[in-house]
Chains A and B, each alone.
Chain A
Amino acid sequence: MNRPANTKGARRERDRRIRINAWASNHRDCALDTIRRMLAQPVATAMTLAVIGIALLLPALLYVAGSNLGQFTDRLEATNRLTVYLAPDISEQSISEVREALDSSELVSSLQFISSEQAAEDFARWSGLGDVLDSLADNPLPAAFVVQPSSADAGALSSLQELLNGLAGVDLIQVDQRWLERLAGISRLIDRTVMTLVVILAFAVLFITGNSIRTLIANRQAEIRVMDLMGATRGYMARPFLYMGIWYGLFGGLMAWLLLQGMLLFLTEPATALLVSYGPQYQLVGLGGTGAAVLLLGSAGLGWLGAKLAVSRHLRALTRS
C-alpha cells in the first residue's frame, strides 16, 4: 500500500532537485552569458565602465585624502599641550620664576623646558635649514615651556591661560592643538564632502546603469515578448539584466580602484616626502582592504539596484499588453 506513495514522493523529490539544479544552472548561464555579451560590445562596455569608474573615483579619492589627514587628527586627543614662549631677552631669574609658578600650580600636570639653543637644534634637525640659522648672528628662537595641562576641561584651560598671562616674561602662548583643530575641521569637511559625493554619485551610477540596461532591454524586445508568451516569469526575464547591472557596478568599481591605485602610485613619492617631514610615523595610506571591499560591493549593489529599477519599469511596458 505504501509503495506507490513512496515512489511518488521519491519522484517528487527528484523533480525538485532537478528544478533547483536547473535554477542554479540558469543563474550560472545568465552570469556567463552577460559577460559574453559585454565582451561582444567592447567599446560600449568600456565606455559605460569608464563613466562608472570615474564617477566612483572621486569619492574614493577624497576618502583617501581624508584618511591621510586623519593620521594627524587621530592624535588630537593625546596632544592638548600648550607651548609657552618666553620673551627673547628674558633673564635666568625670570625663567626660574615662571618655572616655579607653573610647577606649583595644580592646573599643570607636567612641564618641559626647551632652551633657545635646543629649539634651534630641533629646528635645524627637522627643517634642514641649519645653515640659515648658523648664518644669523643671534639665535632668533625663544626659549619655551611645554605645558601639559592636568585637565582638558575648558574652565581649567582658561584659568591656566589667565595664570600664564599674568606671568612676567611670557611672550606668547601657543596652543599646540590649534593647527590640529584646523586640520580636524578640514578633515570633517572632507568627510561631509565624501558623504555628499557618495550620495550624488550613487545616483549617477544608478542612472548610468539604468540607462545602459534600458538600451539592452530595447535591443532584446523580441526575445522578451516571446519569452513572456512562453510563460517566463518576471524574475526569469529580469535575471540577465540584473546580472548585467551587477557586472557593470562591479567592473566599474574595479575600474575606479585601478584608477585610484594608479594615482596613488603617481603621488607616493611627493606625498611621502611631505608626510615624513611631519614625523616618521606619518605615511601615505591607500584605500586598504576594507575600503576596496566597500567600494566593490557598494558599486555592485548600485549596479544591481539601477538594473532593478530599469527592469521593473521597462519589462512591464513590454509584457502582457
Chain B
Amino acid sequence: MIRFDDVSKRYPGGHEALKLVSFDMGRGEMVFLTGRSGAGKSTLLKLLMLSEPLNQGQILVGGRNIHRLPANKIPYYRRRIGVVFQDHQLLFDRSVYDNVALPLQIDGYDKHEAARRVRAALDKVGLLSKEKLNPMTLSGGEQQRIGIARAVVNRPQILLADEPTGNLDPQLAAEIMALFEQFNQIGVSMLIASHDLSLITRLRHRILTLEHGQLIRDEHHPSRSGASPG
C-alpha cells in the first residue's frame, strides 16, 4: 500500500530530516512510527500527504508515485487519506460539528449523509454532546479527538496520525488506540507516529524507529519484554 524507496528530505535551511528511508507497508497494516523528538516522524508523514516536496527517492501509494501526481489529481489523492495533525489544525471560526464536516463538504457529500457521518464520528470519539461548541473552548485532549473524528469521517483508505494521543491521559490514549485498531480491522491502513513507547509496544503492531532521519529499526510484533530486531 505504502512504499518508501531511499527517500531523503532536506529542509531549505539545509537540515537533512530524512536520509535514505526505505520500507514497505501492506494494505490494511497498522504500523507505528517512533523516535525521539526531531527524528523526522512528522516529516515522513508530511511527505506522504504531499505537504512537503522530497529531494530524493520515491514514495509509492497503491503503486503510484505520489510526488509525480499532476496537480489536478492531488486533491483526490488527499481525500483518500485521513490525517490527524500533531498541531490539530482545527478551525476556530466554526463549531466542532463544522470542523468535522469539512472533509465531507469538500468531497461533495449530501448534507443528510454528512450529518449522519459527522455524528457517528463524533460519537466514536465521545464528543457528540459538544458538537455545537467552538473547539477553542475545549481542552487539548478534546481538540485532539476532534482532529481524529475529522480524519476518519470520510472513511479513508489510509489513516496517518501524528502524535494522536499526545495530549491524552493514559486511559483516553488507550481508548483512542483501541478505536484505531477498530478502523484497522475494517481494512484501513494505519501509520501512527508516537513516542509513547510503553503504549505502542503493548499493542503488538509493527514499529518503525527513526533516529536522526534514518530508519534504524523495523520490528514486527515486538514482545512486551523488549525489542527484537526484525
A: residues with CB less than 8 A from B are 18-19, 21-23, 25-26, 222-223, 225-227, 229-233, 236, 320-321
Interface of A (DSSP majority class): helix
B107-122 to A contact mask, C-beta < 8 Å, 1/0: 1111101000000000
B: residues with CB less than 8 A from A are 49-52, 71-72, 74-79, 83, 85, 89, 91, 93, 102-103, 105-111, 113
| Contact between chains at A226 and B89 (CB < 8 Å) | yes
> CB within 8 A of A231: which of B93, B103, B109, B110?
B103
> CB within 8 A of A320: which of B74, B102, B111, B113?
B74
| Contact between chains at B89 and A231 (CB < 8 Å) | no
Give Cα A180 to B169, complex, Å. Answer: 90
Give Cα A236 to B89, complex, Å. Answer: 19
> CB within 8 A of B106: which of A19, A21, A225, A236?
A236
Give Cα A266 to B140, complex, Å. Answer: 62
| Contact between chains at B52 and A321 (CB < 8 Å) | yes
| Contact between chains at A230 and B108 (CB < 8 Å) | no
12 contacts between A and B (CB under 8 A): A18-B113, A21-B110, A22-B110, A222-B89, A223-B91, A226-B102, A227-B102, A227-B106, A229-B89, A230-B78, A320-B50, A320-B71
Give the chain B neighbours of A226 by CB distance below 8 A. 89, 91, 102
Give the chain A neighbours of B76 by CB distance below 8 A. 231
Give Cα A229 to B74, complex, Å. Answer: 10
| Contact between chains at B78 and A229 (CB < 8 Å) | yes
Give the chain A neighbours of B83 by CB distance below 8 A. 229
Min Cβ gap B70→A in Å is 12
Min Cβ gap A11→B in Å is 14
Give Cα A236 to B76, complex, Å. Answer: 13
Give the chain A neighbours of B77 by CB distance below 8 A. 231
| Contact between chains at B108 and A23 (CB < 8 Å) | yes
Give Cα A236 to B79, complex, Å. Answer: 14
Give Cα A231 to B107, complex, Å. Answer: 8
Min Cβ gap A152→B in Å is 63
| Contact between chains at A230 and B103 (CB < 8 Å) | yes
5 A-B pairs with least C-beta separation: A231-B78, A231-B79, A22-B108, A231-B75, A232-B106
Min Cβ gap A30→B in Å is 11
Give the chain B neighbours of A25 by CB distance below 8 A. 111
Min Cβ gap B155→A in Å is 13
Give Cα A229 to B113, complex, Å. Answer: 22
Chain A residue with Cβ nearest B72: A233
Chain A residue with Cβ nearest B102: A230
